[in-house]
Amino acid sequence: MSANFHNSDLKSKVDQLMDALYSGGVNNPMASIEQISYLMFIKSLTEIDEKQEQIARLSGKKYEKGFSGKFAKYSWRTIARLSGQELFDTLSEAFEALHELPLLSRVGKLLFRQAHLKIYNHPTLRSVVQTIDGMDYNNSEKYDTDVKGDLYEYLLSRLSASGSNGQFRTARHIINMMVQIVNPKPGEYILDPACGTAGFLIEAYKYILGRNTSAEDIASGHISGDKLKPEQHEFLKAHAINGYDNDAEMIKIAVMNLYLHGLPQANVQLFDPLCTQKDDDRKYDAILANPPFAGNVNKEAIREEINLPSTATELLFVKYMIDHLSPGGRLGVIVPEGLLFGSTKAHKQLRKLILDDNEVRGIVSVPAGVFKPYSGVKTSIIFLRKGGKTEKVWFYELTADGYSLDDKRQPTEDKNDIPDLLTKWKDKPESDRSWYATLEEIKENDFNLTASRYKPQTLVAMEYPEPKVIIEDALKLEKQIEAGLQDLLQKIS
């Protein structure tokens, strides 16, 4: 029987790696994940190199091995045999030299740009290398799922659990919900302009594969995308997936995440879209994002064409995304509630733009606890389509997402509105959780787009006793109080 990540020993080995690094002095979880990423990547590259060499030999073709010449000593087979100072020195050199390895793709070179070994404790380094050496995550015949992707998702969940450096990921179930609603398709360009660990991009890729996999492959547990044409597969892997982030460390994590999900050619870049002009400033068919909420950009650095009188990152990102949608393109973006009701000129201008030049397909109000324990900010999700005009807005109030809304965020399967939201999305009916507001109503309310503003008020008829009965009950109560006080007075006299 084939295994998957959860019934293999890989989960315990990830825990072992993180614990070992923490004990060995690598206390920042971002640094731990970065170092594990580098080591896993070297192991994977070595195995790819060996497999390509074997294929070439069997077919009688010539293959120029990647880990040869000056790179031979950086092969995982060599590294795994070393220890002590020799292991530390060799890996230090490898981290700083591998961006030159011809075997690496463009994104692989990005991963090792300015890389440095940060595991200074030699026994810890040896232990981590040996643990990774024993992890068989590249054996596609052994596992019935995307085990490399599952492994790395679990590794990144340790980043969420730490809450260090303010770094945390959008929960996968929220991402999945947004991807299903935006519905990316084969042949479309997809963007996350603040991609972080690339969660939205990977789920969009998996969604397209899943929607284009035969029932036979799904039944056997393989999301293969076998119904896609070869050119569609090529486009999906090499052109469809695009992401930016202005944090160099996050981009490295995103590169590794994409690589382990079978996307070594994905176009992710260290880039600040709010301040830097691109030569290829294309439009996108689907944009999914959870951009930074708190923060401001230097006014002089903001791209002139964004043309919004604000330095707030959340406003600038939404404007950038709308500007970079192709006609008919769809956007799903998480925003802080303040963006929907803020009274500044920029807030009102942005909301008017959203309504006038786009079809707002729905606004989902999200509970404040969804991003706990790192942030208690109240958020909503805007879904819109580029072009057209909004006549009315459908609001949905998500009160529960399948997890407790406290700092622990424990699963609560009986409290989850997401399935109901996805069921209602197509027809968008009115219900106890969903309602409409017309454009006229929204204009009358200063373009306020918060769901609660338009929630219908339900009047419940209350029945009260006759006034005579209420007075009689009050007199009885008064007599009981007087009797009790008299009794207490006698006891203390």
Residue 84 has pLDDT above 60, yes or no: yes
Tell which wins on pLDDT, 181 or 259. 181
Give the model's pLDDT for residue 94. 94
pLDDT tens by residue, 153-202: 788 777 654 444 334 568 888 999 999 999 999 999 999 999 988 999 99
Average pLDDT, integer, range 314-328: 96
Distance in angstroms (rounded) separating the CA atoms of residues 230 and 232:
5
Average pLDDT, integer, range 374-391: 89
Residue showing tokens 């087979």: 77
pLDDT tens by residue, 37-83: 899 989 988 988 898 888 888 888 888 888 999 999 999 999 999 99
What fold is seen in the domain 10-154? Ferritin (1.20.1260)
Give the model's pLDDT for residue 169. 63
Domain ranges of the chain: 10-154, 162-454, 463-493
Give the model's pLDDT for residue 458. 66
Tell which wins on pLDDT, 483 or 288. 288
Residue 3 has pLDDT above 60, yes or no: no
Residue 271 has pLDDT above 50, yes or no: yes
Least confident of 189-198, 204-213, 350-359, 397-406: 397-406
Residue 233 has pLDDT above 70, yes or no: yes
0.75 surpassed by pTM: yes
Residue 90 has pLDDT above 90, yes or no: yes
Average pLDDT, integer, range 2-17: 76
Give the model's pLDDT for residue 162. 44
CATH 3.40.50.150 holds for 162-454 = yes
Least confident of 11-25, 160-174, 211-225: 160-174
Give the model's pLDDT for residue 7. 63
The mean pLDDT of the chain is 88
**% of the chain surpassing 90 pLDDT:** 57
From 73, 62, 66, 39, select the one nearest 50 (Cα to Cα): 66
Give the model's pLDDT for residue 283. 96
